[in-house]
Structure 1
Amino acid sequence: MRHLPALTAALILAACAPAAKAPPASSITPVSDETPEALGDLSWTKGAMVAAADPRAVEAGLRVLSEGGNAVDAAIAVHAVLGLVEPQSSGIGGGAFMVYYDRASDEITVFDGRETAPAAAGPDWFSKDGKPMDFLTAWQSGRSVGVPGQIALYKTAHDAAGQGDWASLFQPAIELAEVGFEVSPRLAEVLASERLRAVIRLDDNPVTAAYFYPDGQPLAAGYRRTNAAYAATLAAVANEGPAAFYTGALAAEIVNATNEGPDGGNMTLDDLAGYEVKVRSALCGTLQSGYKICSAPPPSSGGITQNMIMGLYEHLRPGPTVNADESLLLKAFVDAQRLAYADRDHYVADADHVTVPSAELINPDYLEARAKEAFAPDGKVFPGDPGVVLGGEPMRPMWGEDPTTPGAGTTHISIIDLEGNAVSMTATVEAAFGSSRMAGGFLLNNELTDFSLIPEMGGKPVANAVAAGKRPRSSMSPTLVFDEAGDLFMVTGSPGGNSIVAYVSKTLMGVLEWGKTAQEAAALPNIIARGNTVGVEVDIDGGPEAAEALRGMGYTVEERTGENSGLHVIVVRDQGLEGGADPRREGVALSLR
């Protein structure tokens, strides 16, 4: 692990203090004082921890763990609460990727609950009157709604690995929906944003307007908001399983809400009834340092990008004998991002529908060669060609360039349970409040605008073009890290649209390379190097200095404020679990003591 000396004028490499509005994350967690029976597998002596975007959701997860549930059970309870108290970010009307580590079997499983395009979808899905829809119209249209995968993911993961009572997992959320939850400052702030209200239909749609804007005013912080419809939906799922969601009256309500105007979709009851979770193998790579990074495979970007950025960085950073200043390490991180993003944007899509060279893109020989193609600071980015590098057929000409820009309505949950099992789950409705369409007390996603709205470029198909049953490419990167001995070392992930890739890699870089704690890594200034511009978060300590340093090296720097990362990180240390929660949101990392 490379530790950085202190800088007088800290760049990104200096940890910054959490914002005052954020609840404190936990420090290192000692072994629990619970009875041996409650501790489960006594060979695991680190305790348990839940890190998520709202304290009420974290408490729900801890409650499940204390009652004998495991990480999968806790993740379901946590997310069911988040769908109620943080509806702008995720919910059961969206989808998720869950990466689960079972310590007893030493196996990692990915549950792909990504939304799918309806059977009627095709290349002209986002056309209107014979012309391509503009993005904002598509964003709030019924055409943007994918078949939700979240409830099916809950059940598939629970059947495979859960050990708690299914129905009990929804009780914390049901109780909170019935008695009412206090609107958080962040939710109130988002609802009151005139900028957001100008581009979404949340206050135009009668159902959502009545819920979020009673008497025409946005919900205020501290307002107690009940949601009887959501409680009824979860009660039905608790009693009947996914059939209560994907068939019957609720399914009809989802279809009607999707297909009604303006710009209604073409979803059917068969689309809902036919939804299936994909159970996949994790995509893992091993760094020169010995750490193994595992994340979700395509259509997630996690497995490819996190391994690419960290692997490229190892080739781009100054050698251990070079007495380099920190600006060169910052440059290596930026260059690694630019290379990885260029490849991700070109190749990553639903591998069940198109060819995605996942193994080739994280192959060490390709990463070594790709690092030599690092773009000049003022140069234009382009994808590499792993086929050529690895002695096969060219791969780059398969696809046209893809300009897709995903939204940022997402959340992340990190959990380690009392037996040492772990979940990293990122869930989403795509944009803030999804499609602004509501059914059963929850919002429907607008995930299909994560597809390329343009099906071909330069006469070639775009890998991430719309197709029936296809899953749109995702930036979500739920990630687990293992040490040289193969033991679990880190759980991390974040929301944030296409910036998720950069946010998550920042925590990996901070902990694995720069010697930071989980909280310090989450609080570092965000630097997003996608394309020809480097975005630098300048309203965080160290950000202005990083922007100045990069500008001085010739990069085109976009100074950014209000970054929407929501990192939740757990690191396994010798003395216990160390948690970190992003100070930019309202999350916490709490332990079971």
Structure 2
Amino acid sequence: MNKRIFKTGSIAAFALAVGISQPVMAQESAFFDPMDRIHPVWAENGMVSAQERLAAEIGRDILAKGGNAVDAGVAVAFALAVTLPRAGNIGGGGFMLIHDAKTGQTHAIDYREMAPQGASRDMFLNAAGDADSDRSLYSGAASGVPGTVAGMKLALENYGSMEWAEVIAPAIRLAEEGITVTPELADSIEAEREHLEKFRSTAAVFFKEGGEAYRPGDRLVQADLAKTLKKIAAEGPDGFYKGEVAEAIAKAVQEAGGVITPEDMAAYKPILREPVRGTYRSYEVVSMPPPSSGGVHLIQILNALEGYPIGALGQNSGETIHLMAEAMKLAYADRSEYLGDPDFVDVPVEALTSKDYAAEMRRKISADFATPSVMIKPAGLAPYESDQTTHFSVVDKDGNAVSNTYTINLNYGSGLVAAGTGVLMNNEMDDFSAKPGVPNAFGLVGGDANAIAPGKRPLSSMTPTMVLKDGKVWLVTGSPGGARIITTVLQVIMNMIDHGMNVAEASTAPRVHHQWLPDELRVEEGISIDTVRVLQAKGHAVALKEAMGSTQSIMRDPETGSVYGASDPRRPDAATVGY
């Protein structure tokens, strides 16, 4: 059996830390020697898994005080705005899935950013008619109207049990008293120095006097953000979407070349949507509907792969990866044509997620040869992202659950902090198709369905997901990763269902990704050289690249109620904590 040790500094460091000398990632078998198993975090009652430890512990403490999963989730979301500024936010937006154990219902909240009324289809095209990525990423025009504050209020009001001010209080304390700068935080700020120093208001937050960098162990105080959070705690969403905060945001955005107005801020509304649902080998999969493409294509790919004996073929075998890649290509081609904001375009969700359509996909897949992407076109159906997103999962003692993915798009969003507010603005307008057929920052190609329009929500790859067994939550998961979010979540689910991994093993295993264009099969370190050769022989252009995703996952035993969780080792500050 071939084995391959991960390189130091990637997943190897994690593997060595937990005592795994040679994780089995060979093409022949999915078998893990019992002595080599990676063990998840265990808790008897509730659990929080998040990309930053302080925020995770705040959520855990809310659960221990008697709060439910939604109370904890809202507290984590506000805390991450302080402790993980490159992705956690109140200046962005996202999606939340909520499972109510008492009723058995799962709800989806869309609090994605919206294009301001002054936005126009060609606003990011230059004089030559070409897409201008600097304007769509690093100017005031890059920002959509933020949705996080309104989304959290809707969640707490409808499904929580604690007071609004109570769940925001920990975030206010962290912003006011300061947080200890970790090596990860210091590195991320320094890596984005050029963009953060572009705006004086931003540099004043993330650098010391004279531009000196914060170093690990320093204390980062965010006084303006604390003041804004206090207004939100006292006045509800009106403290953010109306009055001085809204006016300051609009002023900052307009001075940086954008078009958000106080009226745009006041008009923002989150939306309750019906989740997308599918089944995979007797499990129910529930995920986010459009304007997220995540749930649709997760279920679409699972449906296609359900027709193959994936477990028998082996975890990360050449045959398994080939079939996964071919199904991924077909789904991402469909994404380019059919997915957009359902309030503006007719998205064929039922068609794309049907078992019949999956059978059609399988008829296009050869077991022996990779189909060149140039030969794949979106299917003939009826007419109708970012690395630095972050995800957290929560399960409480009663089996209620939250799966939440939110973002400001790229690291530190547009780089613009609205002066006096501490609010770091998103650059989500880049997730629209600035010009049909031209890739965005993640290489994703879009069409007319995702064209810019006033009041429209940009298409996303965010995939907050729950897997149910006999009507009860079994797995809560999600990830950042831009275009690779969908395939990252896919592989966690398949690793657990098809290959019998526990949640920690499923989170650690090497990942692969294909998004149709560019025509390359991206793999992480840890895929055996034998497997790579099998894939190349089938015609795949295999590209070894950096790690993908940062899953935060919780598995709940429906029989005992015990919870088992794991934070992805690909991000050093992540933590899973329970009580």
Counterpart AA for 2:240? F
Q: TM-score, normalised by structure 1?
A: 0.86
| Alignment-derived partner of residue 536 in structure 1 | 523
Q: TM-score, normalised by structure 2?
A: 0.88
| Alignment-derived partner of residue 575 in structure 2 | 588
Task: Map 1:207-226 onto structure 2 (within 5 A).
Answer: 207-214=201-208, 215-226=210-221
C-alpha separation in 2, matches of 1:499 and 1:116:
23
Conserved 8 A contact 1:313-1:333: yes
Counterpart AA for 2:452? V
Shift in alpha-carbon separation, 1:419–1:205, aligned structure 2, 3 A: same
Residue 550, structure 1, aligned to residue 541, structure 2: no
| Secondary structure of 1:344's aligned partner | helix
Conserved 8 A contact 1:361-1:386: no
| Alignment-derived partner of residue 344 in structure 1 | 335
Residue 409, structure 1, aligned to residue 391, structure 2: no
Residue 286, structure 1, aligned to residue 279, structure 2: yes
* Among 451, 454, 463, the residue aligned to 1:465: 451
Shift in alpha-carbon separation, 1:242–1:175, aligned structure 2, 3 A: same
Shift in alpha-carbon separation, 1:407–1:510, aligned structure 2, 3 A: same
Cα displacement (A) at 1:374: 2.4
What is the aligned-residue RMSD (CA, Å)?
Answer: 2.6
* Among 416, 424, 428, the residue aligned to 1:437: 416
Conserved 8 A contact 2:478-2:551: yes
Task: Describe the superposition over 1:303-358 as per-residue Cα deviations: whole angstroms up to 9, x where unpaired.
Answer: 211111211111244696x8999321222222222222221222111011001101
Counterpart AA for 1:452? S
Shift in alpha-carbon separation, 1:543–1:63, aligned structure 2, 3 A: farther
Gaps of 5+ in 1: 1-6, 32-46, 388-394, 400-405
Cα displacement (A) at 1:219: 2.0
Counterpart AA for 1:105? T
C-alpha separation in 1, matches of 2:336 and 2:370:
19
| Alignment-derived partner of residue 571 in structure 1 | 555
| Alignment-derived partner of residue 473 in structure 2 | 488
Conserved 8 A contact 1:284-1:307: yes
C-alpha separation in 1, matches of 2:128 and 2:327:
41
* Among 320, 339, 352, the residue aligned to 1:329: 320
Conserved 8 A contact 1:450-1:472: yes
C-alpha separation in 2, matches of 1:546 and 1:90:
37
| Alignment-derived partner of residue 359 in structure 1 | 350
Residue 516, structure 1, aligned to residue 501, structure 2: yes
Residue 19, structure 1, aligned to residue 14, structure 2: yes
| Secondary structure of 1:29's aligned partner | strand
C-alpha separation in 2, matches of 1:325 and 1:544:
12
| Alignment-derived partner of residue 299 in structure 1 | 291
| Alignment-derived partner of residue 196 in structure 2 | 202
Counterpart AA for 1:226? V
| Secondary structure of 2:90's aligned partner | coil
Shift in alpha-carbon separation, 1:564–1:202, aligned structure 2, 3 A: farther
| Alignment-derived partner of residue 43 in structure 1 | none
| Alignment-derived partner of residue 244 in structure 2 | 249
C-alpha separation in 1, matches of 2:498 and 2:450:
33
| Alignment-derived partner of residue 392 in structure 1 | none
| Alignment-derived partner of residue 190 in structure 1 | 188
Shift in alpha-carbon separation, 1:277–1:18, aligned structure 2, 3 A: farther
C-alpha separation in 1, matches of 2:437 and 2:66:
51
Shift in alpha-carbon separation, 1:462–1:316, aligned structure 2, 3 A: farther
In the alignment of these two chains, the number of paired residues is 540
Conserved 8 A contact 2:303-2:358: yes
Cα displacement (A) at 1:60: 0.6
Counterpart AA for 1:430? N
Cα displacement (A) at 1:133: 4.2
Task: Describe the superposition over 1:172-219 as per-residue Cα deviations: whole angstroms up to 9, x where unpaired.
Answer: 1111111110112212112222xx445xx2112111112212232332
C-alpha separation in 1, matches of 2:16 and 2:130:
42
Shift in alpha-carbon separation, 1:164–1:475, aligned structure 2, 3 A: same
| Alignment-derived partner of residue 266 in structure 1 | 259
| Alignment-derived partner of residue 277 in structure 1 | 270
Task: Describe the superposition over 1:524-560 as per-residue Cα deviations: whole angstroms up to 9, x where unpaired.
Answer: 112111121111112xx33655444422332011210
C-alpha separation in 1, matches of 2:310 and 2:506:
21
Cα displacement (A) at 1:415: 0.4
| Alignment-derived partner of residue 176 in structure 1 | 174
Conserved 8 A contact 2:40-2:502: no
C-alpha separation in 2, matches of 1:26 and 1:260:
51
Shift in alpha-carbon separation, 1:248–1:30, aligned structure 2, 3 A: closer
Residue 73, structure 1, aligned to residue 71, structure 2: yes
Shift in alpha-carbon separation, 1:237–1:417, aligned structure 2, 3 A: same
Shift in alpha-carbon separation, 1:506–1:324, aligned structure 2, 3 A: closer
| Secondary structure of 1:158's aligned partner | helix
Gaps of 5+ in 2: 20-37, 439-445
Counterpart AA for 1:210? A
| Secondary structure of 2:292's aligned partner | coil
| Secondary structure of 1:96's aligned partner | strand
Counterpart AA for 1:423? V
Task: Describe the superposition over 1:366-386 as per-residue Cα deviations: whole angstroms up to 9, x where unpaired.
Answer: 111112112742512534436
Shift in alpha-carbon separation, 1:589–1:544, aligned structure 2, 3 A: farther
| Alignment-derived partner of residue 3 in structure 1 | none
Conserved 8 A contact 1:528-1:534: yes
Shift in alpha-carbon separation, 1:22–1:294, aligned structure 2, 3 A: farther
| Alignment-derived partner of residue 119 in structure 2 | 121
Shift in alpha-carbon separation, 1:324–1:480, aligned structure 2, 3 A: closer
Counterpart AA for 2:42? T
Task: Map 1:127-142 onto structure 2 (within 5 A).
Answer: 127-129=125-127, 131-142=129-140
C-alpha separation in 1, matches of 2:255 and 2:511:
39
Residue 230, structure 1, aligned to residue 189, structure 2: no
C-alpha separation in 2, matches of 1:236 and 1:90:
19
Counterpart AA for 2:429? L
Counterpart AA for 2:566? G
Shift in alpha-carbon separation, 1:455–1:319, aligned structure 2, 3 A: closer
| Secondary structure of 1:171's aligned partner | helix
Conserved 8 A contact 1:424-1:479: yes
Conserved 8 A contact 1:26-1:589: no
| Alignment-derived partner of residue 502 in structure 1 | 487
